[in-house]
Amino acid sequence: MLDVYEIITYFLAAAGLWKLLSKCGKKGWYGLIPGFRYYKLAECAEMEMDGLVCLLLEIASRVSAIFMNRAPENSTSQNLWIVISLGLVLVLFVYQIRIGLGVIRLFNLSRKWIVLMILFPWLAFILIGFVKNYQPVQQKVHNDYLAGTAPAALRAAVDTENSSDGLVIHIHDRTVKNFGKLHYLLKDINLTIPNGSLVLLLGGSGSGKTTMVNAINGYEKANATVLLNGEDIYKDYEKMKYRIGFVPQQELLRMNDTVEQTLGDASKLRLPVQVKEEERQKKIENVCEVLGLSGGLEGLVGKKSGGMKKRISIGTELISDPELFILDEPDSGLDGVIARELFTKLRDIADTGRIVIAITHTPDRVIDLFDKVIVLARDSGNVGRLAFFGSPEEARKFFEKDTMEQIVMAINGKNAGGEGRADEFIEKYAEWTLAEREVKADEN
């Protein structure tokens, strides 16, 4: 009777796994193969190493069971194989639970499901596999935003020369692995930004702007070399991260604190412990003077206007005197006058010798303040590529457009209401940079 139950539950589990693996983009028939079941489940949950260990443990436990059965009954060797087999089964069980928890997270289920996974795994697989409401969360989140599985076959832009001054960016590629497949998010981003530059990072939705920013500041490292005034951000990240300021789109401020408290706390967090109180206060005063915060230090942050809150957010990062300053939509929700005032402050910060990179969806109202424009575009393989880097005036000539917003529409896909010319301009820029290098080589 037990053998019949085992056969029935085996095929029920196989049916459930077939559907579950298919939801994750895997071949369902892997659910029929013992050992490979948990390996493929682990791939779905991005736990490939656990899956490989699980596969090897299952093979080892089956081999040890064979030796145990062949050993003389009640002999020392049989007892040894029994101990080994029990140990392997116990460790295998632990790894199966780990992978089960990964699957639960993948499908955004309650942790209580692990009880069902342990007692009746076949029932858990049947429910997750066949109930339509259970879908892998990562797949739902990433399908619209992940780039393609291969970069488009376009001519790559030529590397820029390394420099001991400014920001040098060489991003060969930035990839992620999703459901066992390698996806390219960025490829061939090569440029050098001089100190004292205010730079606009331009591109349509999904072009890789945030991915590029995270690769530059080291938050999500790429296959890249990023140098800030001659020093490698990736190789000495613990030191270099204090020389980079980043202001996200969302304000991370305590609304019930005063402006003075906010800047004071930021100075304690952002400045080295050996900085003396007098020097710390001097830095706070300098930030307040640059950003126009001196008049309302005793007021609550929550009572300040949207533009003032943005300035306070900038101040918390500026307190450490960063050499590179990155801002993600600092003018979000601000009207034209306040936005221009804010970007004028950023222009003043850049004029002190820093590099300021800003993302904004309304660039034309402040474009005259910028020195450089980086244009990212999604190519035909859905990979973020460099479509242009130069001055705003050069950008208008290059794209034959009058405004920055028209440039974005030119590189946006037709399904997003754009002209769908991303590949054209990516190729054009690669050839343009190559021609410029050849001219410089001839001059030298």
The answer to whether position 302 is within a domain reads yes
The verdict on residue 159 lying in a domain is no
Residue 85 has pLDDT above 90, yes or no: no
User: Which residue is associated with the tokens 């040890």?
Assistant: 64
- The CATH number covering residue 287 comes to 3.40.50.300
User: Does 181 share its domain with 96?
Assistant: no
- Of the residues 142, 177, 212, the one at which a domain ends: 142
Which residue type occupies 122?
A: W
- pLDDT category at 367 given cuts 50, 70, 90 is very high
Count structural domains, the chain: 2
Cα–Cα distance for residue pair 394/387, rounded to 1 Å: 13
DSSP 146: -
| pLDDT tier, 192 (very low <50, low <70, confident <90, very high otherwise) | very high
Per-residue pLDDT averaged across 261-269, rounded? 78
pLDDT above 90 (res 336): no
According to the 3-state scheme, what is the secondary structure of 348-380?
A: HHHCCCCEEEEECCCHHHCHHHCCEEEEEEECC
Whether residues 126 and 271 fall in one domain: no
Instruction: Identify the residue with better confidence: 226 or 51.
Output: 226
- Residue at 157 is within a domain: no
Burial zone of 350 (CB within 10 Å; 0-12 exposed, 13-18 middle, 19+ buried): buried
Domain shared by 280 and 377, yes or no: yes
Checking if the pLDDT of 126 tops 70, the result is yes
Same domain (yes/no): 339, 226? yes
How much is the average pLDDT of 322-344? 84
Residue 441 pLDDT exceeds 70: no
Whether residue 358 is contained in a domain is answered as yes
CB burial readout 32-62, b (16+ within 10 A) else e: eeebbbbbbbbbbbbbeebbebbbebbebbe
Tell me, yes or no, whether 185 and 290 share the same domain: yes
Same domain, 126 and 219: no
Residue 2: pLDDT band with limits 50, 70, 90: very low
CB-based contact 182:147 (threshold 8 Å): no
Query: Do 220 and 78 sit in the same domain of this protein?
Result: no
Question: Which pLDDT does position 181 carry in this prediction?
Answer: 66
pLDDT of residue 160: 53
Res 326: pLDDT? 92
Region 61-68 average pLDDT: 85
CA atoms within 13 A on the CB side of 348: 15
Task: Report the alpha-carbon distance of residue 371 to residue 369 in Å, rounded.
Answer: 7
Residues 125 and 205 in one domain: no
Residue 256 — very low, low, confident or very high, per pLDDT cuts 50/70/90? Answer: confident
- Output 400 or 143, whichever has higher pLDDT: 400
> SS3 letters for 207-255?
CCHHHHHHHHCCCCCCEEEEEECCEECCCCHHHHHHHEEEECCCCCCCC
Token readout for 262 is: 């906010």
- Would 152 be classed as within a structural domain? no
Which residue, 101, 125, 142, sits at the end of a domain? Answer: 142
117 lies in the same domain as 193: no
Rg of the chain on CA atoms, in Å: 28
With a CB cutoff of 8 Å and minimum separation 6, the contacts of 89 are 61
Q: What is the overall mean pLDDT for the chain?
A: 82
Q: Are 303 and 253 in contact (CB under 8 A)?
A: no
Residue 324: enclosing H or E segment and its boundaries? strand 324-328
Is residue 161 in some structural domain? no
Verify that 285 and 382 share a domain, yes or no: yes
**pLDDT the model gives residue 161:** 58
Residue 71 clears pLDDT 90, i.e. is over it: no
**pLDDT above 70 for 368:** yes
More confident residue, 354 or 415: 354
Domain that holds residue 67: 2-142
Nearest to 58 by CA among 15, 14, 12, 93: 93
Kindly state the tokens that stand for 49.
């190493």
Give per-residue pLDDT as tens, 271-318.
777 778 888 888 787 777 777 777 777 778 777 777 777 778 888 777
Mean pLDDT of all residues in 326-355:
85
Q: Rounded mean pLDDT of 77-103? A: 87
Q: Determine the pLDDT at residue 142.
A: 40
Q: State residue 141's pLDDT score.
A: 37
Percentage of the chain lying above the pLDDT 90 cut: 25
Say if residue 288 is in the same domain as residue 398. yes
pLDDT value at 331 more than 90: no
Encoded tokens for 21: 């693996």
Of the ranges 129-138, 176-185, 319-328, the best mean pLDDT one: 319-328
Whole-angstrom CA distances from 4 to 8, 35, 41 are 6, 21, 26
The whole-angstrom separation of Cα 353 and Cα 27 is 55
Alpha-carbon distance of 320 to 343, in angstroms, equals: 20
Check residue 144 and give its pLDDT: 37
Q: Are residues 396 and 250 in the same domain?
A: yes
Q: Examine residue 413 and state whether it is found in any structural domain, yes or no.
A: yes
Confidence of residue 157 (pLDDT cuts 50, 70, 90): very low
> What is the value of pTM for the model shown?
0.64
pLDDT band of 178, cuts 50, 70, 90:
low
Give the separation between CA 116 and CA 122, rounded to whole angstroms: 9
Q: What pLDDT is attached to residue 152? A: 52
218: alpha, beta or left, given left = phi > 0 and alpha = psi -120 to 50?
left
pLDDT over threshold 80, residue 155: no
**Residue 150 counted as domain residue:** no
What is the structure's pLDDT at 49? Answer: 84
